[in-house]
Amino acid sequence: MEHNQGPDPELLKDLVRLRMPFGKYKNTLLAHLPIHYLEWFARKGFPKGKLGMQMQTVYEIKLNGLEDILRKLEQSIR
């Protein structure tokens, strides 16, 4: 995965538009998933494919205290 140009803006927009398709937090925006839920997936393994990558991105953003990025993005696309 190439990280030289920073995160893909479309990927970040998806985090504030798409909802969790299953589980305890079904229909919750990916950006709003609680950190403890994401930590559980970090230990057990994120789902395969695009959803897992998106959840892992939200986890990394929250883990590093960068949630303002998601909040500002969410406000800008409303």
Residues 25-69 have pLDDT tens digits of 999 999 999 999 999 999 999 999 999 999 999 999 999 999 999
Q: Global pTM? A: 0.87
pLDDT of 1 higher than 50: no
**Phi, psi of 9, rounded to the nearest 5 degrees:** -60, -35
CA distance 45 to 77: 30
Residue 36 has a pLDDT of 97
Strand partners, 19: 29
pLDDT of 7 higher than 70: no
